[in-house]
């Protein structure tokens, strides 16, 4: 679990969470999303798409489509704007995702519950991103 004890006010703003989840049609790039039913990303992405009306974009290194949706290997390959990056990868991979999100100009990043990446969270906060951490939609 990520520790934000030194900056607790910097993440998980309730109004931000309500806004992110309450904007149907927003584009969510889900990093680590594959077609594997054993991975937690799949049911959460399905919820975002079917229940909340989000445009879900799978991001996985193999570029495997998920539920018929085209996948991209990296955030920077997505040829359209992304509203939220939802992170399902840990450690150094999460830091790389933050770097790509910054380069792409994404303003919102959501670290899924139990994603361990304090360095990534700090990097996102220091870049001025809106951050949600250790939370499940």
How far is residue 120's CA from residue 20's CA, in Å, rounded to a whole number?
20
CA dist 71 → 51, 67, 83, 113, 120 (Å): 21, 10, 16, 23, 23
- Helical segments of the chain, H only: 14-21, 41-50, 91-104, 118-126
Per-residue pLDDT band for 77 (boundaries 50, 70, 90) equals very high
> What is the pLDDT confidence band of residue 10, given thresholds at 50, 70 and 90?
low
**Alpha carbon 78 to chain centroid, angstroms:** 14
CATH architecture type of domain 8-135: 3-Layer(aba) Sandwich (3.40)
**What is the pLDDT, as a whole number, of residue 9?**
56
* Residue 49 structure tokens: 């798409």
| pLDDT tens digits, 82-115 | 999 999 998 889 999 999 999 999 999 999 988 8
Mean pLDDT of the chain: 91
């Amino acid at each position: 679990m990520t520790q934000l004890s030194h900056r607790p006010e910097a993440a998980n703003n309730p109004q931000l969470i309500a806004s992110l989840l309450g904007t149907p049609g927003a584009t969510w790039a889900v990093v680590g999303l594959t077609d594997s039913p054993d991975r937690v990303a799949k049911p959460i992405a399905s919820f975002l798409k079917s229940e909340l009306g989000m445009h879900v974009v799978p991001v996985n290194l193999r570029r495997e489509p998920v539920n018929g949706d085209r996948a991209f290997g990296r955030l920077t390959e997505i040829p359209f704007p992304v509203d939220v990056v939802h992170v399902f990868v840990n450690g150094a991979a999460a830091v790389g995702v933050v770097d790509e999100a910054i380069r792409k100009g994404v303003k919102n990043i959501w670290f899924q519950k139990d994603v361990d990446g304090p360095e990534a969270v700090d990097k996102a906060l220091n870049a001025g991103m809106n951050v949600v951490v250790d939370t499940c939609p």
